[in-house]
Amino acid sequence: MAIDLQQIGKRFRFYTNLKELEMDDLKSMTGSDEETLSNIIHGRNIVMDELVAIVKNFADLNPQWLIYGEGSMFKPMDENGHCHEPNKKDCLKKDKTAYLKQMKDMLIELEAAEIAKGHKPDVDALKAKLDQLRAAQ
């Protein structure tokens, strides 16, 4: 299975935007420098050891999805469907219409790339989650 650095960057950018993580948040959470994080976000010059070390800091991020685009973006939540992370930024926020629109726009960009790679079911699942969040408001 080939690894596409630009796709990794798009998926990581999608995840960090969804979680509302800014560069300063990423630096403090991961201990990585801005250049390394920027390289990952933009899909260039990614050293896989650095990527793996960074991904370990995101308890809910599915590394299989990030690297290969397979499966769900998030690891399963607890048995009650709740985020079990103590840091509020580790849980999805569900109350911002503009925020959901931004995520939908990013999903459209990601969808085009994923469909080209044959991952339409994963994209459809993400769309359904965004629609559920929007309906819950």
Is it the case that residue 89 has pLDDT exceeding 50? no
Predicted local confidence at residue 97, as pLDDT = 62
Tens digit of each residue's pLDDT (9 = 90 or more) over 122-132: 667 777 888 88
Most confidently modeled range among 67-81, 88-102, 123-137: 123-137
For residue 25, what pLDDT is reported?
94
Between 7 and 104, name the one with better pLDDT.
7
Residue 96 predicted with pLDDT over 60: no
DSSP per-residue string spanning the chain: ----HHHHHHHHHHHHHHTT--HHHHHHHH---HHHHHHHHTT-S--HHHHHHHHTT-TTB-HHHHHH--S-SB----TTS----SSGGGS-----HHHHHHHHHHHHHHHHHHHHTT-HHHHHHHHHHHHHHHHH-
Higher pLDDT, residue 130 or 15: 15
Looking at residue 38, its pLDDT comes to 93
pLDDT in tens, 16-67: 988 889 999 999 999 999 999 999 999 888 888 888 888 899 988 989 899 8
Q: Is the pLDDT of residue 1 over 50?
A: yes
The whole-model pTM stands at: 0.59
